[in-house]
Structure 1
Protein backbone atom coordinates (compact mmCIF):
# COMPACT_ATOMS: atom_id res chain seq x y z
CA UNK A 1 0.00 0.00 0.00
CA UNK A 2 1.13 3.54 -0.84
CA UNK A 3 0.42 6.37 1.59
CA UNK A 4 -1.34 9.06 -0.45
CA UNK A 5 -2.89 11.73 1.74
CA UNK A 6 -3.62 12.58 5.37
CA UNK A 7 -7.01 14.17 6.06
CA UNK A 8 -8.91 15.56 9.02
CA UNK A 9 -10.56 12.94 11.16
CA UNK A 10 -14.02 14.56 10.95
CA UNK A 11 -14.11 14.41 7.13
CA UNK A 12 -16.77 11.90 6.00
CA UNK A 13 -15.08 9.78 3.33
CA UNK A 14 -17.53 6.88 3.34
CA UNK A 15 -19.15 7.87 0.03
CA UNK A 16 -15.81 8.51 -1.62
CA UNK A 17 -14.54 5.13 -0.43
CA UNK A 18 -17.58 3.33 -1.88
CA UNK A 19 -17.11 5.21 -5.14
CA UNK A 20 -13.45 4.13 -5.33
CA UNK A 21 -14.55 0.53 -4.79
CA UNK A 22 -16.94 0.81 -7.72
CA UNK A 23 -14.14 2.16 -9.91
CA UNK A 24 -12.06 -0.89 -9.05
CA UNK A 25 -9.47 1.16 -7.13
CA UNK A 26 -8.00 -0.88 -4.29
CA UNK A 27 -7.53 1.36 -1.28
CA UNK A 28 -7.73 1.61 2.47
CA UNK A 29 -8.53 4.42 4.90
CA UNK A 30 -6.91 4.18 8.31
CA UNK A 31 -6.93 6.30 11.47
CA UNK A 32 -3.72 7.83 12.67
CA UNK A 33 -3.48 10.25 15.59
CA UNK A 34 -7.05 11.46 15.15
CA UNK A 35 -6.61 11.97 11.41
CA UNK A 36 -7.49 9.77 8.43
CA UNK A 37 -4.92 8.41 5.99
CA UNK A 38 -5.75 7.31 2.45
CA UNK A 39 -3.71 4.41 1.05
CA UNK A 40 -3.70 3.06 -2.51
CA UNK A 41 -2.62 -0.35 -3.71
CA UNK A 42 -1.30 1.00 -7.01
CA UNK A 43 0.81 4.16 -7.22
CA UNK A 44 -0.35 4.96 -10.76
CA UNK A 45 -3.81 5.74 -9.37
CA UNK A 46 -2.43 8.56 -7.22
CA UNK A 47 -2.94 11.56 -9.50
CA UNK A 48 -6.52 10.77 -10.66
CA UNK A 49 -7.61 9.79 -7.14
CA UNK A 50 -6.16 12.97 -5.63
CA UNK A 51 -7.86 15.06 -8.32
CA UNK A 52 -11.19 13.35 -7.64
CA UNK A 53 -10.69 13.75 -3.89
CA UNK A 54 -10.00 17.46 -4.28
CA UNK A 55 -13.24 17.91 -6.22
CA UNK A 56 -15.10 15.80 -3.66
CA UNK A 57 -13.90 17.95 -0.78
CA UNK A 58 -14.31 21.32 -2.50
CA UNK A 59 -17.65 21.05 -4.29
CA UNK A 60 -20.94 20.05 -2.73
CA UNK A 61 -22.53 19.05 -6.05
CA UNK A 62 -19.66 16.68 -6.79
CA UNK A 63 -19.85 15.31 -3.25
CA UNK A 64 -23.59 14.71 -3.61
CA UNK A 65 -23.11 12.95 -6.95
CA UNK A 66 -20.28 10.76 -5.66
CA UNK A 67 -22.17 9.90 -2.49
CA UNK A 68 -25.26 8.98 -4.51
CA UNK A 69 -23.18 6.90 -6.91
CA UNK A 70 -21.52 5.21 -3.96
CA UNK A 71 -24.91 4.00 -2.75
CA UNK A 72 -25.92 2.80 -6.21
CA UNK A 73 -26.37 -0.93 -6.90
CA UNK A 74 -23.08 -1.41 -8.74
CA UNK A 75 -21.06 -4.59 -8.51
CA UNK A 76 -17.64 -4.97 -10.12
CA UNK A 77 -18.14 -1.66 -11.89
CA UNK A 78 -21.41 -2.83 -13.48
CA UNK A 79 -24.95 -1.60 -12.89
CA UNK A 80 -26.80 -4.48 -11.22
CA UNK A 81 -30.05 -3.31 -9.62
CA UNK A 82 -32.57 -5.45 -7.77
CA UNK A 83 -36.37 -5.00 -8.05
CA UNK A 84 -36.34 -2.78 -4.97
CA UNK A 85 -34.12 -0.22 -6.71
CA UNK A 86 -36.61 0.53 -9.52
CA UNK A 87 -40.14 -0.64 -8.61
CA UNK A 88 -41.83 1.69 -11.12
CA UNK A 89 -39.80 0.37 -14.05
CA UNK A 90 -40.37 -3.19 -12.89
CA UNK A 91 -44.11 -2.54 -12.62
CA UNK A 92 -44.27 -1.24 -16.19
CA UNK A 93 -42.43 -4.32 -17.47
CA UNK A 94 -44.73 -6.67 -15.54
CA UNK A 95 -47.86 -4.93 -16.86
CA UNK A 96 -46.51 -5.16 -20.42
CA UNK A 97 -45.77 -8.86 -19.97
CA UNK A 98 -49.21 -9.60 -18.52
CA UNK A 99 -51.00 -7.72 -21.28
CA UNK A 100 -48.89 -9.45 -23.93
CA UNK A 101 -50.10 -12.77 -22.50
CA UNK A 102 -53.74 -11.71 -21.97
CA UNK A 103 -54.07 -10.24 -25.47
CA UNK A 104 -52.38 -13.22 -27.12
CA UNK A 105 -49.58 -10.97 -28.34
CA UNK A 106 -52.06 -8.49 -29.75
CA UNK A 107 -54.30 -11.03 -31.47
CA UNK A 108 -57.38 -10.90 -29.21
CA UNK A 109 -60.29 -8.44 -29.14
CA UNK A 110 -58.92 -7.01 -25.90
CA UNK A 111 -56.02 -5.53 -27.85
CA UNK A 112 -58.47 -3.15 -29.55
CA UNK A 113 -58.91 -1.41 -26.17
CA UNK A 114 -55.20 -0.69 -26.04
CA UNK A 115 -54.64 0.76 -29.51
CA UNK A 116 -54.31 4.53 -29.98
CA UNK A 117 -57.78 4.61 -31.54
CA UNK A 118 -60.10 1.70 -32.27
CA UNK A 119 -59.27 0.64 -35.86
CA UNK A 120 -62.67 -1.03 -36.21
CA UNK A 121 -64.67 1.97 -35.02
CA UNK A 122 -63.13 4.70 -37.16
CA UNK A 123 -61.63 4.96 -40.64
CA UNK A 124 -57.96 5.90 -40.36
CA UNK A 125 -56.42 5.49 -43.81
CA UNK A 126 -55.92 9.23 -44.42
CA UNK A 127 -54.35 11.86 -42.19
CA UNK A 128 -57.63 13.76 -41.90
CA UNK A 129 -59.44 10.57 -40.87
CA UNK A 130 -56.81 9.87 -38.24
CA UNK A 131 -57.22 13.36 -36.78
CA UNK A 132 -61.01 12.97 -36.71
CA UNK A 133 -60.74 9.53 -35.07
CA UNK A 134 -58.41 10.92 -32.44
CA UNK A 135 -60.72 13.85 -31.68
CA UNK A 136 -63.73 11.54 -31.28
CA UNK A 137 -61.74 9.11 -29.14
CA UNK A 138 -60.62 11.83 -26.73
CA UNK A 139 -64.09 13.38 -26.68
CA UNK A 140 -65.49 10.04 -25.53
CA UNK A 141 -63.07 10.04 -22.57
CA UNK A 142 -60.78 7.25 -23.79
CA UNK A 143 -57.66 9.17 -22.82
CA UNK A 144 -55.83 6.00 -21.75
CA UNK A 145 -55.30 5.14 -25.42
CA UNK A 146 -52.58 7.78 -25.66
CA UNK A 147 -50.39 5.59 -23.41
CA UNK A 148 -51.63 1.99 -23.73
CA UNK A 149 -50.00 1.23 -27.12
CA UNK A 150 -46.79 0.98 -25.05
CA UNK A 151 -48.13 -2.24 -23.57
CA UNK A 152 -49.03 -3.91 -26.86
CA UNK A 153 -46.42 -6.38 -28.13
CA UNK A 154 -46.67 -8.78 -31.03
CA UNK A 155 -43.95 -11.32 -30.25
CA UNK A 156 -42.13 -12.51 -27.15
CA UNK A 157 -38.82 -11.44 -28.66
CA UNK A 158 -40.31 -7.97 -29.10
CA UNK A 159 -41.25 -7.60 -25.45
CA UNK A 160 -38.12 -9.30 -24.09
CA UNK A 161 -35.81 -6.92 -25.95
CA UNK A 162 -37.80 -3.87 -24.85
CA UNK A 163 -37.97 -5.09 -21.26
CA UNK A 164 -34.22 -5.70 -21.03
CA UNK A 165 -33.37 -2.27 -22.42
CA UNK A 166 -35.95 -0.48 -20.27
CA UNK A 167 -34.73 -2.25 -17.15
CA UNK A 168 -31.08 -1.44 -17.85
CA UNK A 169 -31.62 2.26 -18.61
CA UNK A 170 -34.88 3.07 -16.86
CA UNK A 171 -33.77 1.61 -13.54
CA UNK A 172 -30.82 4.02 -13.55
CA UNK A 173 -33.09 7.01 -14.20
CA UNK A 174 -35.45 5.95 -11.41
CA UNK A 175 -32.57 5.38 -8.98
CA UNK A 176 -30.47 8.46 -9.67
CA UNK A 177 -33.17 10.99 -10.63
CA UNK A 178 -36.14 9.68 -8.69
CA UNK A 179 -39.45 7.99 -9.42
CA UNK A 180 -41.27 11.23 -10.15
CA UNK A 181 -38.79 12.22 -12.84
CA UNK A 182 -38.87 8.78 -14.39
CA UNK A 183 -42.68 8.82 -14.50
CA UNK A 184 -42.61 12.26 -16.13
CA UNK A 185 -40.11 10.97 -18.67
CA UNK A 186 -42.26 7.88 -19.32
CA UNK A 187 -45.44 9.89 -19.89
CA UNK A 188 -43.86 12.53 -22.15
CA UNK A 189 -41.96 10.03 -24.32
CA UNK A 190 -45.05 7.81 -24.53
CA UNK A 191 -47.24 10.68 -25.69
CA UNK A 192 -44.76 11.93 -28.29
CA UNK A 193 -43.79 8.52 -29.66
CA UNK A 194 -47.33 7.13 -29.85
CA UNK A 195 -48.84 10.32 -31.29
CA UNK A 196 -46.22 10.71 -34.00
CA UNK A 197 -46.51 7.05 -34.98
CA UNK A 198 -50.30 7.25 -35.10
CA UNK A 199 -50.41 10.43 -37.17
CA UNK A 200 -48.03 8.94 -39.74
CA UNK A 201 -49.26 5.35 -40.00
CA UNK A 202 -52.48 4.85 -38.02
CA UNK A 203 -53.34 2.83 -34.88
CA UNK A 204 -51.87 -0.57 -35.81
CA UNK A 205 -48.67 -0.39 -33.76
CA UNK A 206 -47.45 -1.07 -30.25
CA UNK A 207 -44.48 -1.63 -27.99
CA UNK A 208 -42.24 0.03 -25.44
CA UNK A 209 -39.49 0.79 -27.92
CA UNK A 210 -40.52 4.45 -28.22
CA UNK A 211 -40.10 4.82 -24.48
CA UNK A 212 -36.78 2.96 -24.61
CA UNK A 213 -35.52 5.41 -27.24
CA UNK A 214 -36.77 8.25 -25.06
CA UNK A 215 -34.97 6.99 -21.97
CA UNK A 216 -31.80 6.49 -24.01
CA UNK A 217 -31.99 10.04 -25.38
CA UNK A 218 -32.56 11.39 -21.88
CA UNK A 219 -29.65 9.42 -20.39
CA UNK A 220 -27.28 10.45 -23.17
CA UNK A 221 -27.98 14.20 -23.03
CA UNK A 222 -28.50 14.48 -19.28
CA UNK A 223 -25.24 12.59 -18.77
CA UNK A 224 -23.43 15.54 -20.35
CA UNK A 225 -24.70 17.76 -17.55
CA UNK A 226 -23.99 15.43 -14.63
CA UNK A 227 -22.32 12.06 -15.07
CA UNK A 228 -24.20 9.30 -13.23
CA UNK A 229 -25.50 6.76 -15.74
CA UNK A 230 -23.69 3.67 -16.96
CA UNK A 231 -24.05 2.66 -20.58
CA UNK A 232 -21.60 2.18 -23.45
CA UNK A 233 -21.43 5.22 -25.78
CA UNK A 234 -21.69 2.81 -28.69
CA UNK A 235 -25.27 2.05 -27.60
CA UNK A 236 -26.40 5.49 -28.75
CA UNK A 237 -24.63 5.06 -32.09
CA UNK A 238 -26.19 1.62 -32.57
CA UNK A 239 -29.65 2.95 -31.71
CA UNK A 240 -29.32 5.79 -34.20
CA UNK A 241 -28.12 3.47 -36.95
CA UNK A 242 -30.93 1.02 -36.21
CA UNK A 243 -33.47 3.86 -36.36
CA UNK A 244 -32.15 4.97 -39.75
CA UNK A 245 -32.27 1.37 -41.02
CA UNK A 246 -35.90 1.26 -39.90
CA UNK A 247 -36.76 3.96 -42.43
CA UNK A 248 -35.48 1.72 -45.26
CA UNK A 249 -37.07 -1.45 -46.70
CA UNK A 250 -34.28 -3.59 -45.20
CA UNK A 251 -36.19 -4.80 -42.09
CA UNK A 252 -39.01 -6.12 -44.28
CA UNK A 253 -36.55 -7.70 -46.71
CA UNK A 254 -34.93 -9.71 -43.92
CA UNK A 255 -38.26 -10.76 -42.42
CA UNK A 256 -38.40 -8.51 -39.35
CA UNK A 257 -41.40 -6.60 -40.66
CA UNK A 258 -42.13 -2.89 -40.64
CA UNK A 259 -40.75 -1.06 -37.61
CA UNK A 260 -42.45 1.71 -35.66
CA UNK A 261 -39.85 4.19 -36.87
CA UNK A 262 -41.84 7.32 -36.03
CA UNK A 263 -42.34 6.04 -32.47
CA UNK A 264 -38.58 5.61 -32.12
CA UNK A 265 -37.95 9.10 -33.45
CA UNK A 266 -40.68 10.71 -31.36
CA UNK A 267 -39.51 8.95 -28.21
CA UNK A 268 -35.90 9.96 -28.74
CA UNK A 269 -36.84 13.60 -29.33
CA UNK A 270 -39.02 13.49 -26.22
CA UNK A 271 -36.13 12.15 -24.16
CA UNK A 272 -33.84 14.91 -25.39
CA UNK A 273 -36.44 17.56 -24.55
CA UNK A 274 -36.90 16.17 -21.05
CA UNK A 275 -33.13 16.20 -20.51
CA UNK A 276 -33.17 19.90 -21.35
CA UNK A 277 -36.20 20.68 -19.19
CA UNK A 278 -35.36 18.57 -16.14
CA UNK A 279 -32.06 19.68 -14.67
CA UNK A 280 -30.21 16.79 -13.00
CA UNK A 281 -31.03 16.80 -9.33
CA UNK A 282 -30.75 14.63 -6.27
CA UNK A 283 -33.54 12.04 -6.19
CA UNK A 284 -36.06 11.93 -3.39
CA UNK A 285 -37.06 8.35 -2.64
CA UNK A 286 -39.21 6.89 0.06
Structure 2
Protein backbone atom coordinates (compact mmCIF):
# COMPACT_ATOMS: atom_id res chain seq x y z
CA UNK A 1 0.00 0.00 0.00
CA UNK A 2 1.52 3.30 -1.12
CA UNK A 3 1.10 6.37 1.09
CA UNK A 4 1.28 9.87 -0.41
CA UNK A 5 0.37 13.46 0.36
CA UNK A 6 -1.28 15.18 -2.59
CA UNK A 7 -4.12 17.64 -2.06
CA UNK A 8 -7.19 17.87 -4.24
CA UNK A 9 -8.72 21.36 -4.29
CA UNK A 10 -11.62 20.99 -6.70
CA UNK A 11 -13.37 17.98 -5.28
CA UNK A 12 -16.29 19.47 -3.39
CA UNK A 13 -17.99 21.03 -6.36
CA UNK A 14 -21.44 20.08 -7.57
CA UNK A 15 -21.96 16.33 -7.83
CA UNK A 16 -23.52 15.50 -11.17
CA UNK A 17 -24.36 11.82 -11.01
CA UNK A 18 -25.49 9.81 -14.01
CA UNK A 19 -29.13 8.90 -14.10
CA UNK A 20 -29.89 5.21 -14.06
CA UNK A 21 -31.60 3.61 -17.02
CA UNK A 22 -35.32 3.10 -16.38
CA UNK A 23 -35.92 -0.03 -14.33
CA UNK A 24 -38.58 -2.60 -15.05
CA UNK A 25 -40.84 -2.75 -12.00
CA UNK A 26 -40.63 -6.54 -12.15
CA UNK A 27 -36.97 -6.21 -11.26
CA UNK A 28 -37.93 -4.55 -7.96
CA UNK A 29 -40.07 -7.42 -6.71
CA UNK A 30 -38.93 -9.47 -3.72
CA UNK A 31 -36.74 -12.37 -4.73
CA UNK A 32 -35.94 -15.71 -3.16
CA UNK A 33 -34.05 -14.43 -0.12
CA UNK A 34 -35.83 -15.46 3.07
CA UNK A 35 -35.53 -12.95 5.90
CA UNK A 36 -34.57 -14.74 9.13
CA UNK A 37 -36.43 -13.94 12.34
CA UNK A 38 -33.35 -13.78 14.57
CA UNK A 39 -29.77 -12.57 14.36
CA UNK A 40 -26.59 -14.53 15.09
CA UNK A 41 -27.15 -14.02 18.83
CA UNK A 42 -30.67 -15.48 18.71
CA UNK A 43 -32.28 -12.04 19.13
CA UNK A 44 -34.42 -9.91 16.85
CA UNK A 45 -32.51 -7.68 14.43
CA UNK A 46 -31.71 -4.08 15.42
CA UNK A 47 -33.15 -4.48 18.90
CA UNK A 48 -31.25 -1.81 20.83
CA UNK A 49 -33.13 -2.20 24.10
CA UNK A 50 -33.01 -5.92 24.88
CA UNK A 51 -30.19 -7.05 27.17
CA UNK A 52 -27.51 -8.97 25.29
CA UNK A 53 -23.78 -9.49 25.27
CA UNK A 54 -23.39 -6.44 22.98
CA UNK A 55 -26.19 -4.15 24.19
CA UNK A 56 -24.15 -2.14 26.70
CA UNK A 57 -21.31 -1.52 24.25
CA UNK A 58 -23.71 -0.52 21.48
CA UNK A 59 -25.50 1.99 23.69
CA UNK A 60 -22.20 3.50 24.85
CA UNK A 61 -21.23 3.83 21.20
CA UNK A 62 -24.37 5.84 20.41
CA UNK A 63 -23.90 8.06 23.46
CA UNK A 64 -20.56 9.20 22.03
CA UNK A 65 -21.77 9.29 18.44
CA UNK A 66 -24.76 11.52 19.18
CA UNK A 67 -22.75 13.79 21.47
CA UNK A 68 -19.85 14.50 19.13
CA UNK A 69 -21.31 14.28 15.60
CA UNK A 70 -22.13 17.97 15.14
CA UNK A 71 -22.12 20.20 12.06
CA UNK A 72 -18.63 21.62 12.64
CA UNK A 73 -17.15 18.16 13.18
CA UNK A 74 -18.69 16.80 9.97
CA UNK A 75 -17.50 19.78 7.94
CA UNK A 76 -13.97 19.31 9.25
CA UNK A 77 -13.94 15.59 8.44
CA UNK A 78 -15.25 16.06 4.89
CA UNK A 79 -12.60 18.69 4.21
CA UNK A 80 -9.80 16.52 5.58
CA UNK A 81 -10.75 13.21 3.98
CA UNK A 82 -11.87 14.78 0.71
CA UNK A 83 -8.19 15.36 -0.05
CA UNK A 84 -7.84 11.63 -0.76
CA UNK A 85 -4.25 11.63 0.48
CA UNK A 86 -4.31 8.73 2.92
CA UNK A 87 -3.40 5.83 0.66
CA UNK A 88 -3.33 4.37 -2.81
CA UNK A 89 -4.52 0.78 -3.14
CA UNK A 90 -6.88 -1.51 -5.01
CA UNK A 91 -10.36 -2.39 -3.74
CA UNK A 92 -9.64 -6.04 -2.98
CA UNK A 93 -6.68 -5.01 -0.81
CA UNK A 94 -9.07 -2.74 1.07
CA UNK A 95 -11.44 -5.68 1.61
CA UNK A 96 -8.58 -7.67 3.11
CA UNK A 97 -7.64 -4.80 5.43
CA UNK A 98 -11.09 -5.09 7.01
CA UNK A 99 -10.51 -8.73 7.94
CA UNK A 100 -9.85 -7.80 11.56
CA UNK A 101 -12.41 -5.01 11.95
CA UNK A 102 -15.55 -5.59 14.06
CA UNK A 103 -18.31 -2.95 14.10
CA UNK A 104 -19.04 -1.92 17.72
CA UNK A 105 -22.35 -0.31 16.72
CA UNK A 106 -23.82 -3.52 15.30
CA UNK A 107 -26.09 -5.41 17.73
CA UNK A 108 -26.50 -8.31 15.29
CA UNK A 109 -23.02 -9.55 14.38
CA UNK A 110 -19.45 -9.68 15.64
CA UNK A 111 -17.51 -11.35 12.81
CA UNK A 112 -14.88 -9.55 10.67
CA UNK A 113 -16.24 -7.08 8.13
CA UNK A 114 -14.94 -8.88 5.03
CA UNK A 115 -17.39 -11.70 5.75
CA UNK A 116 -20.29 -9.25 6.08
CA UNK A 117 -19.36 -7.71 2.73
CA UNK A 118 -19.28 -11.06 0.97
CA UNK A 119 -22.42 -12.34 2.69
CA UNK A 120 -24.29 -9.25 1.48
CA UNK A 121 -22.91 -9.42 -2.06
CA UNK A 122 -23.51 -13.15 -2.48
CA UNK A 123 -27.09 -12.95 -1.21
CA UNK A 124 -27.81 -10.18 -3.72
CA UNK A 125 -26.05 -12.09 -6.50
CA UNK A 126 -28.29 -15.08 -5.97
CA UNK A 127 -31.53 -13.11 -6.25
CA UNK A 128 -30.41 -10.48 -8.80
CA UNK A 129 -28.03 -12.40 -11.11
CA UNK A 130 -28.24 -9.79 -13.89
CA UNK A 131 -27.61 -6.70 -11.74
CA UNK A 132 -23.84 -7.02 -11.40
CA UNK A 133 -23.54 -3.37 -10.31
CA UNK A 134 -25.62 -4.30 -7.26
CA UNK A 135 -23.32 -7.24 -6.47
CA UNK A 136 -20.31 -4.91 -6.46
CA UNK A 137 -22.20 -2.36 -4.37
CA UNK A 138 -22.76 -5.10 -1.79
CA UNK A 139 -19.04 -5.82 -1.70
CA UNK A 140 -17.82 -2.23 -1.36
CA UNK A 141 -20.59 -0.50 0.62
CA UNK A 142 -18.74 -0.73 3.96
CA UNK A 143 -15.15 -0.27 2.77
CA UNK A 144 -15.09 3.19 4.32
CA UNK A 145 -14.58 1.42 7.65
CA UNK A 146 -10.86 1.52 6.87
CA UNK A 147 -11.10 4.88 8.67
CA UNK A 148 -10.68 2.80 11.82
CA UNK A 149 -7.16 1.76 10.76
CA UNK A 150 -3.94 3.64 11.67
CA UNK A 151 -3.05 4.54 8.08
CA UNK A 152 -6.37 6.38 7.77
CA UNK A 153 -6.20 8.29 11.02
CA UNK A 154 -7.50 5.52 13.31
CA UNK A 155 -10.73 7.38 13.95
CA UNK A 156 -12.83 6.25 16.91
CA UNK A 157 -15.75 3.96 16.11
CA UNK A 158 -18.31 6.69 16.84
CA UNK A 159 -16.83 8.66 13.89
CA UNK A 160 -16.93 5.74 11.45
CA UNK A 161 -19.86 3.36 11.97
CA UNK A 162 -23.45 3.33 13.20
CA UNK A 163 -26.68 4.86 11.89
CA UNK A 164 -26.20 8.18 10.11
CA UNK A 165 -28.39 11.29 10.29
CA UNK A 166 -28.43 14.85 8.93
CA UNK A 167 -26.62 17.61 10.77
CA UNK A 168 -27.62 21.24 10.30
CA UNK A 169 -31.26 20.59 11.16
CA UNK A 170 -33.29 19.13 14.04
CA UNK A 171 -32.39 15.60 15.13
CA UNK A 172 -35.45 13.43 14.52
CA UNK A 173 -36.72 11.37 17.44
CA UNK A 174 -36.77 8.25 15.28
CA UNK A 175 -32.97 8.09 15.45
CA UNK A 176 -31.82 5.22 17.66
CA UNK A 177 -30.95 6.32 21.22
CA UNK A 178 -32.25 9.81 20.48
CA UNK A 179 -31.85 10.86 24.13
CA UNK A 180 -28.10 11.29 23.71
CA UNK A 181 -28.50 14.10 21.16
CA UNK A 182 -29.31 16.41 24.07
CA UNK A 183 -25.56 16.61 24.76
CA UNK A 184 -24.77 17.58 21.15
CA UNK A 185 -23.69 21.24 20.75
CA UNK A 186 -26.15 21.64 17.83
CA UNK A 187 -29.15 20.52 19.90
CA UNK A 188 -29.85 24.00 21.32
CA UNK A 189 -28.43 25.99 18.41
CA UNK A 190 -31.34 27.97 16.84
CA UNK A 191 -29.66 27.79 13.43
CA UNK A 192 -29.73 23.99 13.50
CA UNK A 193 -32.62 22.85 15.71
CA UNK A 194 -35.63 23.50 13.47
CA UNK A 195 -37.24 21.04 11.07
CA UNK A 196 -35.39 22.41 8.03
CA UNK A 197 -32.45 24.06 9.78
CA UNK A 198 -30.12 25.46 7.14
CA UNK A 199 -31.75 23.56 4.26
CA UNK A 200 -34.52 24.54 1.82
CA UNK A 201 -37.48 22.20 1.45
CA UNK A 202 -36.80 19.31 -0.99
CA UNK A 203 -33.23 20.51 -1.46
CA UNK A 204 -32.03 16.98 -2.20
CA UNK A 205 -29.99 14.76 0.09
CA UNK A 206 -26.90 15.52 -1.98
CA UNK A 207 -27.05 19.03 -0.48
CA UNK A 208 -27.48 17.81 3.10
CA UNK A 209 -24.54 17.24 5.45
CA UNK A 210 -24.79 13.79 7.01
CA UNK A 211 -23.02 12.63 10.15
CA UNK A 212 -19.49 11.61 9.24
CA UNK A 213 -18.55 7.98 8.77
CA UNK A 214 -17.78 5.12 6.42
CA UNK A 215 -20.83 5.77 4.22
CA UNK A 216 -19.90 9.28 3.14
CA UNK A 217 -16.20 8.43 2.94
CA UNK A 218 -16.70 5.49 0.55
CA UNK A 219 -19.04 7.63 -1.53
CA UNK A 220 -16.32 10.28 -1.83
CA UNK A 221 -13.74 7.62 -2.74
CA UNK A 222 -15.95 6.18 -5.48
CA UNK A 223 -16.76 9.60 -6.95
CA UNK A 224 -13.18 10.85 -6.86
CA UNK A 225 -11.93 7.71 -8.57
CA UNK A 226 -14.50 8.15 -11.37
CA UNK A 227 -16.49 4.97 -10.91
CA UNK A 228 -19.00 4.13 -13.61
CA UNK A 229 -21.42 2.61 -11.10
CA UNK A 230 -24.95 4.06 -11.58
CA UNK A 231 -26.36 6.78 -9.35
CA UNK A 232 -28.45 4.20 -7.47
CA UNK A 233 -25.25 2.44 -6.38
CA UNK A 234 -23.73 5.68 -5.13
CA UNK A 235 -26.97 6.48 -3.30
CA UNK A 236 -26.88 3.06 -1.60
CA UNK A 237 -23.26 3.49 -0.56
CA UNK A 238 -23.91 6.96 0.85
CA UNK A 239 -27.23 6.33 2.63
CA UNK A 240 -27.41 2.62 3.49
CA UNK A 241 -26.98 3.48 7.19
CA UNK A 242 -29.64 6.23 7.09
CA UNK A 243 -32.17 4.06 8.94
CA UNK A 244 -34.21 7.03 10.18
CA UNK A 245 -35.12 7.63 6.53
CA UNK A 246 -35.48 4.22 4.95
CA UNK A 247 -36.86 2.38 7.99
CA UNK A 248 -38.78 5.13 9.84
CA UNK A 249 -39.66 7.56 7.03
CA UNK A 250 -38.03 10.58 8.69
CA UNK A 251 -36.41 13.51 6.84
CA UNK A 252 -38.39 12.97 3.62
CA UNK A 253 -39.01 16.72 3.46
CA UNK A 254 -35.38 17.11 2.39
CA UNK A 255 -35.59 14.65 -0.52
CA UNK A 256 -35.91 15.57 -4.21
CA UNK A 257 -37.35 13.44 -7.03
CA UNK A 258 -34.06 11.65 -7.75
CA UNK A 259 -33.76 10.70 -4.09
CA UNK A 260 -37.25 9.22 -4.17
CA UNK A 261 -36.34 7.15 -7.23
CA UNK A 262 -33.09 5.86 -5.74
CA UNK A 263 -34.58 5.15 -2.32
CA UNK A 264 -36.38 2.08 -3.67
CA UNK A 265 -32.98 0.53 -4.38
CA UNK A 266 -31.89 1.21 -0.81
CA UNK A 267 -34.98 -0.66 0.40
CA UNK A 268 -33.98 -3.62 -1.75
CA UNK A 269 -30.35 -3.47 -0.68
CA UNK A 270 -31.16 -3.03 3.00
CA UNK A 271 -32.76 -6.45 3.22
CA UNK A 272 -29.53 -8.13 2.17
CA UNK A 273 -27.25 -5.79 4.13
CA UNK A 274 -29.15 -6.36 7.37
CA UNK A 275 -30.54 -9.87 7.22
CA UNK A 276 -27.72 -11.75 5.46
CA UNK A 277 -25.58 -11.41 8.59
CA UNK A 278 -24.60 -14.88 9.69
CA UNK A 279 -21.81 -16.80 11.38
CA UNK A 280 -21.64 -19.06 8.29
CA UNK A 281 -18.58 -17.77 6.43
CA UNK A 282 -18.10 -17.34 2.67
CA UNK A 283 -15.16 -19.04 0.91
CA UNK A 284 -13.20 -15.90 0.03
CA UNK A 285 -10.86 -17.43 -2.55
CA UNK A 286 -13.73 -19.10 -4.39
CA UNK A 287 -15.65 -15.88 -5.05
CA UNK A 288 -12.68 -13.51 -5.38
CA UNK A 289 -12.21 -13.83 -9.19
CA UNK A 290 -15.79 -12.80 -9.87
CA UNK A 291 -15.62 -9.66 -7.74
CA UNK A 292 -12.21 -8.70 -9.08
CA UNK A 293 -13.75 -8.77 -12.58
CA UNK A 294 -16.54 -6.42 -11.44
CA UNK A 295 -14.04 -4.02 -9.90
CA UNK A 296 -12.22 -3.82 -13.24
CA UNK A 297 -15.53 -3.21 -15.02
CA UNK A 298 -16.74 -0.34 -12.85
CA UNK A 299 -13.49 1.38 -11.80
CA UNK A 300 -11.20 2.80 -14.51
CA UNK A 301 -7.97 2.34 -12.56
CA UNK A 302 -6.74 -0.61 -10.51
CA UNK A 303 -5.41 1.46 -7.63
CA UNK A 304 -7.72 4.00 -6.05
CA UNK A 305 -6.89 7.13 -4.10
CA UNK A 306 -8.22 7.02 -0.54
Bucket of the pairwise TM-score, normalised by the shorter protein: under 0.3
Higher strand share: 1
Higher helix share: 1
Structure having the higher Rg: 1
The TM-score with structure 2 as length reference comes to: 0.26
Greater RCO structure (CA 8 Å; 6+ sep): 2
The TM-score with structure 1 as length reference comes to: 0.27
